[in-house]
């Protein structure tokens, strides 16, 4: 596999709106080439019977189950509100929209 060239690094830097010095182009070209090589090695190891994963460890939902519990009625919740409309808190308009 051919290595990453200075021109390719320069093109990527231009797309990312980065200004790189000539010596940085050589440095980053070598680093990007190493990264691509590492990804290629991982791709060689991965086999068809290995499913793709988004995380190395299994994740489980840590939230509690939803259960109905006693709570305030809309009237109770709005009882201290300075203004209300259609069982909602009414607040001053700030964006000038209707």
What integer is the mean pLDDT of 81-97? 88
What integer is the mean pLDDT of 74-89? 92
Position 28 pLDDT exceeds 60: yes
Condensed to tens digits (0 to 9), the pLDDT of residues 45-78 reads: 767 777 777 888 887 777 888 899 999 999 999 9
- The answer to whether the pTM exceeds 0.75 is no
Instruction: Write the burial class of residue 24 (CB in 10 Å: 0-12 exposed, 13-18 middle, 19+ buried).
Output: middle
């Amino acid at each position: 596999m051919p290595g990453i060239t200075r021109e390719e690094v320069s093109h990527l830097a231009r797309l990312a709106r980065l200004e790189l010095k000539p010596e940085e182009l050589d440095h980053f070209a070598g680093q990007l080439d190493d990264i691509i090589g590492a990804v290629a090695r991982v791709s060689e190891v991965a086999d068809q019977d290995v499913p793709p994963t988004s995380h190395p460890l299994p994740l489980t939902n840590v939230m509690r189950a939803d259960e109905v519990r006693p709570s305030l009625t809309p009237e109770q919740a709005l009882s201290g509100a300075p203004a209300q409309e259609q069982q909602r808190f009414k607040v001053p308009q700030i964006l000038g929209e209707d």
